[in-house]
Structure 1
Amino acid sequence: MRTSMALTLALLLGGCATQADRAAEQQREVDEMIAVYGPACQKLGYQADTEQWRDCILKMDTKNAIERWRTAPTTTTCFGHRGFFNCSTF
């Protein structure tokens, strides 16, 4: 939840942000991923600050993001008449 709010805020302020602001935001996101997934990857047996550990963190974050997207609420709108419908899902 916190990550999605941060990303939304970053997108809203993205046009006003300087290169240094965007780099700082990206660094905060990376630090948050390390704080959240780093201990779990160490418990899985990966040595901290190695390529495999970083890969584990990225995979766990990606899996979590996909799960959030997959379970997000959707809306389906259909219009037309009997025998012909055009439906869109968002």
Structure 2
Amino acid sequence: MSKLIPFFLIALLAGCATTPAEREARAQREVDQMVQAYGPACDKLGYKRGTDPWRDCVVKLSTKDSYERYASQPSMTTCFGHHGFFQCTGF
């Protein structure tokens, strides 16, 4: 039985690994979602679809949205206390 444990661990870890094709497919899905979400706005701003400035517009709008979403949350939390009584602050 103990000889089978390493085999099962290797099989389990191999199942968790992603292949380059899977990573590429995930990246393509993310790009497609960005184009779907921000492409119409760039079209309305006057960029011609499929050009480099249009792609740059899509990336910039996505970056701006991500920054606004995550910048409003505390970036650091400090907690101190004793026996279930904690004081936490966020910066």
- Is the shorter-chain TM-score for this pair beyond 0.5, marking a shared fold? yes
Q: Tell which structure's C-alpha radius of gyration is larger.
A: 2
* Letter matched to residue 28 of structure 2: Q
| Fraction of identical pairs, as percent | 51
Q: Is the 8 A contact 2:74 2:90 kept in 1?
A: no
Specify every segment of 5 or more residues in structure 2 that has no aligned partner in the other structure, as ranges.
1-15, 81-88
Counterparts of 1:39 and 1:23 in 2: how far apart (Å)? 24
Deviation at 1:72, TM superposition (A): 2.3
Number of residues of Structure 1 aligned to a counterpart in Structure 2: 69
Q: TM-score, normalised by structure 2?
A: 0.65
Counterparts of 1:58 and 1:38 in 2: how far apart (Å)? 10
Q: What is the RMSD computed on CA atoms of the aligned residues?
A: 2.4
Specify every segment of 5 or more residues in structure 1 that has no aligned partner in the other structure, as ranges.
1-14, 80-87
SS at match of 2:54: helix
Counterparts of 1:72 and 1:89 in 2: how far apart (Å)? 9
Residue 71 of structure 2 is matched in structure 1 by 70
Q: TM-score, normalised by structure 1?
A: 0.66
Deviation at 1:76, TM superposition (A): 3.0
